[in-house]
Structure 1
Amino acid sequence: MKIIVTGSLGNISKPLASELIRQGHDVAIISSQAAKQQDIEALGAKAAIGSVEDAAFLTAAFAGADAVYAMTPPNYAASDLIGYYRHVALAYAKAAKAANVPHLVYLSSYGADLEKGSGIIGGSHQAEGILTALDNITITLLRPGYFYYNLYQFTGMIKAQDFMGSNYGGEDKLVMVSPLDIAAAAAEELTNATPQNKVRYIASDEKTCNEVARIIGEAIGKPDLTWLTFTDEQVKNNLLEHGMPPAAAGLLVELNAAIHSGLLASDYEKHPPALGKVKLQDFVKEFAAAYQQG
């Protein structure tokens, strides 16, 4: 199969491309950075250098593809984050239609079923709507949970204050996921001989925030580490003090609040997947190594 992978050599895209190449597929990787071309080719893939916001470029890159893995690169500098997701999805839709792509696998998020109240995940909701409206293209929506590496954001707080904290915490449950488990699921869907329009949730482990703090604390030599729950206002003010634009801060606080209330995982809980291979105990080894080096 000829398969297009977006996301350059990111945490998901690199292991995904590597697995597809191992299986013998013809893989092209889209990257916005020309400097990545050599590394992409060293992996055994073709490099297509350009922007996923450029529908004309994508149309050319998608030509002859049997399947496309599409993701929206993070862009917290965008003045309208939701609009950015919509813009990228429209470029994907236009290119997939023009290039007659038969199957598109889109990296969305848990909570993307929600029309409102999910913060930045509202962008994934709108992207899903744009892509699933396409005719004659099979759309597979991947909805992973909370990425393990989001926990790195607490490193400075742990070192300075000996606790973790946000406007979610305590006994709130985190549905967590490893990029490796996402890559494995994406590879399965991209190479499916009989793809279907469907939603696939992906998770690696489920733990309360208290359990996460305990496991991290034991790994870094702080067995009494706790995860505190702050108010929405406290978290937003802290984000603003650290220079985050007001609109982005508001979306992040809303997203966190949806984790705290359980809203974000409400549909996930109705369709729980089999958990992946990479558990929190595996990830904390990486976390502890990075913590000690930082």
Structure 2
Amino acid sequence: MKIVLTGSLGNIGNPLTQLLVGAGHQVTVISRRKERIPEIENLGAVAAIGSIQDVEFLTETFKNADAVYLMEAWEGMGSLFDQEIDFLAEFKKTARNYVKAVQQSGIRKIIHLSSIGAHSDQGTGSLLVHYHVEQILQTLPEDVSIKFMRPVGFFSNIYRWLPAIQSQGKIIQSYGGSRKEPWVSPYDIAATIADEMEKPFSGRTVHYIASDEVSPDEITAALGQSIGNPDLEWKVVSSEELLHQMMSAGINEWIAKGMVAMQRAQADGSLYEDFYANKPTFGKVKFEDFTKEFAQKYKI
């Protein structure tokens, strides 16, 4: 198949490109940066340099493709420290661009990278953006098949805790304890998407993706062991204190409030209700595998 990927060569895009090229597909990777061209071509793919905010560029790139992989990236919208960005509006704008480009190009097969939390417009915090993107994509004609991929929290998101772990020996969140929650490796996301590209497309389907289940207590113990700090602490602070910390650091107010609300949904388990009602087979990469990678980053 001829497949177009948005999202450049990020944590998912890089292994996804390799998997699809390795399976014999003709892959085009969209990137904003010209310096990515050699890396994309070295993987056996074709680079298309342009912006997903440019509908004409998207339309031309999508033409003659058999399927497209659509995603939005928080960082692609701008800095999380920019108080002027309306992230919800930006996500909606990108989704509408995709709808126009899909309609104008004639694409009929879509795999969309959504997220846990996209099942509801209530109580999911900043994950609300994914609910709205899915709803906008649902406005496409019925003959356009869409596979909505909803991964849970990425292992790689744990790197956001690295500064506090290095400086204070603490993981600071507004929830904790022994309740397990699902996590996912970007590689397992890529592998799942690559597999779904090979399967029939029909209607609109939802696919949750996860790799492992671990609790905050288990995360603390495993990370502490991996970095040689058995006293690593998971410190639970109030939602108000966490919000104050993020706002003091200059994080966009909507994002900060959304993160606090999301952690509240993680704490009471409501974020994962639809996930567990439609629980997928877990991927190959386990949290223990991630701790080895984390330990290497910790030492740098």
- Work out whether the TM-score is over 0.5: yes
SS in 1 for 2:208: strand
Q: Which residue number corresponds to residue 8 of structure 2?
A: 8
Report sequence identity in percent: 38
SS in 2 for 1:120: helix
Q: 1:159 is aligned with what amino acid?
A: Q
List per-residue Cα deviations over 1:218-271 (Å, max 9, x = no partner).
Answer: 111112323222111110100011111222211121122221121211100111
In structure 1, what is the Cα distance between the partners aligned to 2:181 and 2:23?
33
**TM superposition shift of 1:196:** 4.5
Q: CA RMSD in A?
A: 1.3
Cα contact 1:4–1:30 (8 A) shared by 2: yes
Match of 1:144 among 132, 145, 151: 151
Q: Which residue number corresponds to residue 208 of structure 1?
A: 215
State whether structure 2 residue 33 is matched by structure 1 residue 36. no
Q: Which residue number corresponds to residue 88 of structure 1?
A: 94
Alignment of 1:1-294 (within 5 A): 1-74=1-74, 75=77, 76=80, 77=82, 79-135=85-141, 136-293=143-300
In structure 2, what is the Cα distance between the partners aligned to 1:65 and 1:273?
29
- Structure 2 vs 1, CA of residues 84 and 172 (structure 1 numbering), >3 Å: closer, same or farther? farther
SS in 1 for 2:206: strand
Superposition misfits of 4+ residues, deviation over 6 angstroms:
none
In structure 1, what is the Cα distance between the partners aligned to 2:237 and 2:288?
26
Which TM-score applies when normalising by structure 1? Answer: 0.96
**TM superposition shift of 1:184:** 0.4
Cα contact 2:145–2:201 (8 A) shared by 1: no
**TM superposition shift of 1:194:** 4.3
**TM superposition shift of 1:40:** 0.9
In structure 2, what is the Cα distance between the partners aligned to 1:252 and 1:54?
30
SS in 2 for 1:224: coil
- Structure 2 vs 1, CA of residues 57 and 128 (structure 1 numbering), >3 Å: closer, same or farther? same
**TM superposition shift of 1:195:** 4.3
In structure 2, what is the Cα distance between the partners aligned to 1:91 and 1:233?
37
In structure 2, what is the Cα distance between the partners aligned to 1:68 and 1:7?
11
- Structure 2 vs 1, CA of residues 79 and 14 (structure 1 numbering), >3 Å: closer, same or farther? same
Q: 1:110 is aligned with what amino acid?
A: I
Q: 1:264 is aligned with what amino acid?
A: L
**TM superposition shift of 1:171:** 2.4
SS in 1 for 2:271: coil
**TM superposition shift of 1:73:** 1.8
Cα contact 2:172–2:237 (8 A) shared by 1: yes
SS in 2 for 1:142: strand
In structure 1, what is the Cα distance between the partners aligned to 2:203 and 2:139?
14
Cα contact 1:142–1:200 (8 A) shared by 2: yes
How many residue pairs match? The answer is 293
Cα contact 1:86–1:123 (8 A) shared by 2: yes
Q: 1:256 is aligned with what amino acid?
A: Q
SS in 2 for 1:105: strand
- Structure 2 vs 1, CA of residues 86 and 194 (structure 1 numbering), >3 Å: closer, same or farther? closer
Cα contact 1:170–1:228 (8 A) shared by 2: no
- Structure 2 vs 1, CA of residues 172 and 236 (structure 1 numbering), >3 Å: closer, same or farther? farther
- Structure 2 vs 1, CA of residues 222 and 284 (structure 1 numbering), >3 Å: closer, same or farther? same
Name whichever of 224-233 and 266-275 sits farther off. Answer: 224-233
